[in-house]
């Protein structure tokens, strides 16, 4: 099985703080994996490093290529807390279209094919009813769906989701989780999802990585995670 994301000896530090101290992990192509750990463990930093948005030492390979040479368009990233500026005049449709620019670069003309792909992503994410709304006027749950639709419009091979359910109430969290699971089962992209909430790991998830004290302390299948996490004193 070839790996889509391979991380070796990843270290991230700030002048007064070592955040990651030798992380190793590998996500197989086409699989769903979860990265868990307490708040402040460094999960978001790790994801940003994989997107090329955070300086690090060590090695990150994307579909077999060193991150520096890898095609970043293949990675779709939905950041944590992506709530829009309340005054943003940008529409949901425009925000989803950004996925096409992430795919093609900003200089390629937005054509008929791009429009079709954006319409389709909006339909799959079930946000047609707000397509014309300004981003500043939608709810936190809707904003998460817009973020996912943007990533889908990019048609990436690898999707990185950072706490996608974080701003939702418990009921919407479950619905959202089912939504992510359905997407994954229909499209079979590679997914690495970050969450601090063990209950948010979907059934389709095959691998779970636990981050603690700057390292992956557990690299396991998706079974008895609560108990394992307790053993490692993570929660």
Ligand X SMILES: Nc1ncnc2c1ncn2[C@@H]1O[C@H](COP(=O)(O)OP(=O)(O)O)[C@@H](O)[C@H]1O
Cβ distance to Mg ion smaller for residue 35 or 121: 35
44 touches Mg ion by CB under 5 A: yes
Is residue 154 left, alpha or beta, with left meaning phi > 0 and alpha meaning psi from -120 to 50? alpha
192 touches ligand X by CB under 6 A: no
202 binds, among ligand X, Mg ion, none (CB under 5 to 8 A by kind): none
Among the listed ranges 39-47, 70-78, 88-96, 213-221, the one in contact with ligand X (CB under 6 A) is 39-47
- Tell me which of 5, 26, 37, 144 binds ligand X, using CB under 6 A: 37
CA nearest neighbour of 190 among 72, 76, 30, 75: 30
Residue 139: C-alpha distances to residues 28, 42, 185 (Å) = 34, 27, 26
17 touches ligand X by CB under 6 A: yes
Radius of gyration of the chain (CA): 18
37 binds, among Mg ion, ligand X, none (CB under 5 to 8 A by kind): ligand X
How many residues make contact with ligand X (CB under 6 A)?
Answer: 11
Rounded Cα distance between 52 and 47, Å, is 9
Distance of CA 45 to the CA centre of its chain: 12
Among the listed ranges 32-40, 59-67, 123-131, 197-205, the one in contact with ligand X (CB under 6 A) is 32-40
CA nearest neighbour of 180 among 207, 144, 209: 144
Q: Kindly state the smallest distance separating residue 46's Cβ from ligand X, in Å.
A: 7
Q: Kindly state the smallest distance separating residue 214's Cβ from Mg ion, in Å.
A: 15
Count CB atoms within 10 A of the CB of residue 110: 12
* Strand, coil or helix: 33: strand
Q: Kindly state the smallest distance separating residue 46's Cβ from Mg ion, in Å.
A: 9
Q: Kindly state the smallest distance separating residue 72's Cβ from ligand X, in Å.
A: 20
Residue 181's H or E segment, with its range, is helix 170-187
Q: Kindly state the smallest distance separating residue 110's Cβ from Mg ion, in Å.
A: 32
17 binds, among ligand X, Mg ion, none (CB under 5 to 8 A by kind): ligand X
Is residue 141 left, alpha or beta, with left meaning phi > 0 and alpha meaning psi from -120 to 50? alpha
How many residues make contact with Mg ion (CB under 5 A)?
Answer: 3
55 touches ligand X by CB under 6 A: no
Instruction: By CB under 6 A, name the binding residues for ligand X.
Output: 14, 17, 19, 37, 39-45
Instruction: By CB under 5 A, name the binding residues for Mg ion.
Output: 43-44, 80
């Amino acid at each position: 099985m070839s790996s889509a994301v391979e991380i070796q000896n990843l270290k991230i530090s700030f002048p007064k703080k070592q955040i990651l101290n030798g992380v190793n992990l590998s996500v197989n192509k086409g699989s769903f994996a979860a990265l868990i750990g307490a708040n402040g463990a460094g999960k978001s930093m790790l994801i940003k490093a994989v997107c090329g948005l955070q300086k690090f030492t060590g090695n990150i390979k994307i579909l077999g290529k060193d991150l520096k040479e890898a095609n970043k368009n293949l990675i779709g990233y939905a950041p944590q807390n992506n709530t829009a500026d309340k005054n943003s005049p940008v529409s949901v449709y425009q925000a989803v279209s950004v996925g096409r620019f992430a795919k093609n670069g900003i200089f390629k003309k937005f054509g008929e094919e791009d429009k079709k792909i954006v319409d389709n992503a909006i339909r799959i994410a079930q946000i047609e009813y707000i397509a014309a709304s300004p981003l500043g006027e939608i709810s936190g749950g809707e904003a998460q769906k817009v973020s996912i639709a943007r990533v889908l419009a990019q048609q990436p091979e690898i999707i990185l989701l950072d706490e996608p359910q974080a701003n939702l109430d418990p009921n919407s969290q479950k619905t959202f989780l089912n939504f992510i699971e359905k997407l994954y089962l229909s499209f079979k992209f590679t997914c690495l999802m970050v969450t601090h909430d063990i209950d948010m790991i979907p059934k389709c998830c095959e691998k779970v990585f636990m981050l603690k004290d700057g390292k992956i302390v557990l690299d396991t299948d998706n079974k008895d995670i609560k108990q394992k996490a307790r053993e490692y004193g993570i929660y």
